Amino acid sequence: MAKAKKVAGGWGALKSSMHFLKRESFIKGNKTLFKMNQPDGFDCPGCAWPDPKNPAATEFCENGVKALTYETTRKRANADMFALHSVAEMAAWDDFELEQQGRLCEPMRYNTETDHYEALSWEDAFELIAAEMKQLDDPNQAIFYTSGRTSNEAAFLYQLLARKFGTNNMPDCSNMCHESSGVGMSETVGIGKGTVQLDDFEAAESIFVFGQNPGTNHPRMLTELQSASKRGAKIVSFNPLVETGLKNFLHPQHIGAMLSNKATPISSHYYQVKIGGDLAAIRGMVKYMLEQEETKGGIIDHAFIQEHCSGFEAYAEKVKQEDWDFLIAQSGLSKAQLIEAAEVYIQTDSNICCWAMGLTQHKHGVANIQEIINLLLLKGNIGRPGAGPCPVRGHSNVQGDRTVGITELPAEEFLQRLDKAFNIQSPREHGYSVVHAIKAMAEGRGKVFIGMGGNFASATPDTKLTFQGLQKCNLTVHISTHLNRSHVIHGKQALILPCLGRSEEDLQAGGKQCVTVEDSMSMVHASNGSNKPATNTLKSEPAIVAGIGKALWGNHEINWDELISDYDNIRNKLEEVLPAFAGYNEKIKQPGGFHLRNSAAEREWNTSSGKAQFTANEVPDIQLAPGQLRLMTMRSHDQYNTTIYDYNDRYRGIKGERKIILLNKADMNDLGLEENELVDITSHATDGIERKATGFKVLSYDIPQECAGAYFPETNVLVGIDESAKKSHTPMSKFIVITLARTFHQ
Ligand SMILES: Nc1nc2c(c(=O)[nH]1)N[C@H]1C(S)=C(S)[C@@H](COP(=O)(O)OP(=O)(O)OC[C@H]3O[C@@H](n4cnc5c(=O)[nH]c(N)nc54)[C@H](O)[C@@H]3O)O[C@H]1N2
Ligand SMILES: Nc1nc2c(c(=O)[nH]1)N[C@H]1C(S)=C(S)[C@@H](COP(=O)(O)OP(=O)(O)OC[C@H]3O[C@@H](n4cnc5c(=O)[nH]c(N)nc54)[C@H](O)[C@@H]3O)O[C@H]1N2
Ligand SMILES: [Mo]
């Protein structure tokens, strides 16, 4: 049995921070930690939560400490390490052991004869990539993946490289993450980003949190929720699990509270919705609201709907037709709970809705987001203080990467401006998203794979197919800081290119450089690394892209050397392509940076109707066969996506293990399973293929019946390649249909 802790933060968070500082040999007196999230410092390489205008001297959290010590570790995965261990040997290590080798040091090339990676020069690495790219019959055989830690400058150059080469094959971690939010919001409010800013959290009367675990994944958000709770705002959580951070929080940096051990309650209302049941739950809330509107009136904002919205009548009619029993069964919540939640929404004037992966990684991920938009539109809750949608982004610059052109579906206007700025002819044909890229490689249509950060092999669905795809490639290249699975599951030829981390000093011909990032609330600001690089053989991400560009075409058409000699040059070009960045180099000199205009926040609706759009999506009728469960895959407290910092999940009371599955006690009884027993998990995808993950320990947990929880990436083997969200193609990582069988011991 595992049991969630009562309070997040507190002494446990401090103790854990100290543990990681010590384990990674963080040097005493090192000031790096105090530069994180400061105006003259660097952006935390962890999550995308924004920095306050006046950050505390210690504007970091426990998991920020893990992210930083991971980068500043003294351990080195150098050429000696690679000489010692063959790839076959390293492939048998788990993700923790791989990343624990420490920072990558020099460019490495795979040698088929010895099965070892061996050092080569940067020039040779760039030449090899250029030669392989030039050999392709079609530029669309190249795939350029991006993970969201990459800076605006690197991402902008990277998309330029891909488009000059002739492809829009730019899958990105966002495809697996908030793509459903982007698609859902673009269709309804005309922009794929949240409209709220940090100030709005101070003005909101209620904050709804759907499918998010901020205590682990956005710990600095708890500071905001804590002050909202203290001033009496209602916080309403929808989550199958009672996540500790959403229950009570003791701020580890508030000395008074720490000494008196006084935690703040966070959620005023908590609803343990069934996995996949949010659309039904919100529909139920709206049904009650519209019923109340008919009998009492004064609930919905008719003036706002009249002036700003389209599609209200069709939506209201759809809601009217819904059957209460159906909504109750699908959400797993009682009518009384749905009415209670609706009453909070009705009685509080300005409302923010936050969400993350619990909503986006479903078949109906886009519809989930659009139902939140419906809910907000009903009360005119977009484009006024203290109100609006707030998709809480994951990687620290995933939003910025999209803004500057990392997308497989570029807008025509963007391409025209890019073409003009660089005198190129960008391709117009759309490119591959993550799931399309996997299929293309597996079918031999994708032949050169370049990964700008991330860990494509582990993060993606259908592990077996992904591995086959990567192994079929002529060349795989990974621009990385740490050893990971994608380096040991490689193409016929393979390169590892080690890069600088965000906390490190970036010196170019024109002197010390800063990069820029955009947070979850559209603030763009500078990030200045100041640590001595892990080794003097590392290159910056922009310099690596420029190196490939120069090896392909020289400096004649695009002067790559000049672009990277001073990143102001890159930003000047970016500003030419994206007018929203006018005055870029000047604006980032301001502490805190600048806010990118958000049309929906100003009630300008860039949709096909020119209005904010209500959408009458179908509530899915989810029916599982007897014995089947719905499995969500999630993060433990000690991991950053595929990077495993340790084997613990403190808030959920799990210690020293990751191959676990959380089950409801009643389901365990029905299935005849005992506590701590090992089970094999089989998934049942629509393609009819049965995928298996073996040897997971059963733990009973407070989770709704028919629901189960386990960690990713271990469970990605179970996600079928065709199991992805309608319209956004986001893998359904939160809804895997499974059955369990006792592991057979020989
Ligand atoms: N320390 C740390 N920080 C991170 C990351 C990390 O791995 N570690 N990852 C970063 C990234 S890239 C991202 S995208 C974010 C992810 O941040 P989250 O989205 O918070 O991450 P998950 O662990 O996927 O958790 C999803 C939450 O959704 C709930 N959930 C699952 N299914 C459903 C459902 O059907 N309905 C509802 N209502 N809830 C559901 C789960 O119980 C869990 O609480 O965090 C970012 N920050
Ligand atoms: N089943 C399941 N699968 C999921 C999810 C889920 O909830 N469930 N979540 C999905 C989500 S939301 C996301 S965002 C993806 C994440 O997918 P990715 O972004 O591809 O994966 P990460 O684990 O964040 O990447 C870790 C690697 O990044 C490299 N790295 C770290 N810092 C830097 C840097 O500064 N520069 C460079 N170049 N490299 C660096 C290191 O080598 C490290 O090994 O996973 C997705 N996969
Ligand atoms: Mo993410």
In this predicted model, what pLDDT tens digit does every residue of 430-456 receive, in sequence order? 999 999 999 999 999 999 999 999 999
335/341 Cα distance (integer angstroms): 10
Distance of CA 47 from the midpoint of ligand 3 (Å): 9
Q: Alpha carbon 474 to chain centroid distance? A: 29
Res 56 pLDDT > 90: no
72/82 Cα distance (integer angstroms): 20
Q: Burial letters for 320-353: b for 16+ Cβ neighbours within 10 Å, e otherwise?
A: eebeeeebbbbbbbeeebbbbbbebbbebebbbb
Helix residue ranges per DSSP H, 537-679: 541-553, 560-565, 567-577, 584-587, 665-671
Strand order, beta sheet including 108-111: 116-119, 108-111, 493-498, 475-480, 448-452, 142-146
489/49 Cα distance (integer angstroms): 32
Q: Give the tens place of pLDDT for each residue, 505-561.
A: 999 999 999 999 999 999 999 999 999 999 999 999 999 999 999 999 999 999 999
Distance of CA 653 from the midpoint of ligand 1 (Å): 17
Q: Is 103 in the pocket of ligand 2 (CB under 6 A)?
A: no
Ion ligand 3, residue ranges at CB < 5 A: 177, 394
Q: Give the tens place of pLDDT for each residue, 698-725.
A: 999 999 999 999 999 999 999 999 999 9
438 three-state secondary structure: helix
341 three-state secondary structure: helix
Residue 409 CB coordination number (10 Å):
11
At residue 28, the pLDDT reads 59
**What's the mean pLDDT when you consider all of the chain?**
96
Q: Residue 330 is encoded by which pair of tokens? A: 């699908």
Q: Which residues contact 457 (CB under 8 A, 6 or more apart)?
A: 463, 466, 467, 470, 484, 485, 486, 489
Distance of CA 455 from the midpoint of ligand 2 (Å): 5
Q: Alpha carbon 388 to chain centroid distance? A: 20
* Residue matched to tokens 């020293």: 656
Q: Fill in the amino acid letter for 249.
A: F
394/625 Cα distance (integer angstroms): 34
Q: Which residues contact 731 (CB under 8 A, 6 or more apart)?
A: 176, 361, 434, 435, 460, 461, 719, 723, 724, 725
Peptide bond into 713 cis (omega under 30): yes
Query: Which atom of ligand 2 sits closest to the CA of residue 177?
Result: 12
Q: Is 632 in the pocket of ligand 1 (CB under 6 A)?
A: yes
Query: Which atom of ligand 1 sits closest to the CA of residue 211?
Result: 39
Q: Is 501 in the pocket of ligand 2 (CB under 6 A)?
A: yes
359 pLDDT band (50/70/90 cuts)? very high
Q: Is 541 in the pocket of ligand 2 (CB under 6 A)?
A: yes
Q: Which residues contact 588 (CB under 8 A, 6 or more apart)?
A: 514, 516, 524, 525, 526, 571, 594
Res 25 pLDDT > 90: no
Share of residues in the chain with pLDDT > 90 (%): 91
697/700 Cα distance (integer angstroms): 10
**Which CATH number fits the domain 179-187+199-248+260-387, given the four candidates 3.40.228.10, 3.40.50.620, 3.40.120.10, 3.20.20.120?**
3.40.228.10
Distance of CA 355 from the midpoint of ligand 2 (Å): 19
Q: Alpha carbon 402 to chain centroid distance? A: 13
Res 504 pLDDT > 90: yes
Tell me the Cα Rg of the chain.
25
Architecture of domain 629-742: Beta Barrel (2.40)
Q: Is 482 in the pocket of ligand 2 (CB under 6 A)?
A: yes
| Residue 105 contacts residue 536 (beta carbons within 8 Å) | no
Q: Give 613-652 as a DSSP string.
A: E---PPPP---PPTT-EEEEEE--TTEETTEE--S-BGGG
| Residue 283 contacts residue 614 (beta carbons within 8 Å) | no
| Residue 453 contacts residue 195 (beta carbons within 8 Å) | no
* Residue matched to tokens 């007196």: 29
Residue 680 forms beta bridges with which residues?
741
Helix then strand then coil, in percent of the chain rounded to 5, is 40, 20, 40
Burial class (CB in 10 A: 0-12, 13-18, 19+), 122: middle
Structural domain spans, the chain: 76-171+397-581, 179-187+199-248+260-387, 629-742
Q: Whose CA is nearest to atom 15 of ligand 1?
A: 394
| Residue 422 contacts residue 385 (beta carbons within 8 Å) | no
Q: Give the tens place of pLDDT for each residue, 71-91.
A: 999 999 999 999 999 999 999
At residue 111, the pLDDT reads 98
Distance of CA 630 from the midpoint of ligand 2 (Å): 24
Q: Alpha carbon 230 to chain centroid distance? A: 29
Mean pLDDT on 176-203 = 97
Mean pLDDT on 123-147 = 98
Res 29 pLDDT > 70: no
746 pLDDT band (50/70/90 cuts)? low
- Per DSSP, 596 falls in state P
515 three-state secondary structure: strand
Share of residues in the chain with pLDDT > 70 (%): 100
Tell me, which fold does domain 76-171+397-581 have in CATH?
Answer: Rossmann fold (3.40.50)
Nearest Cα residue to 20 out of 105, 94, 100: 100
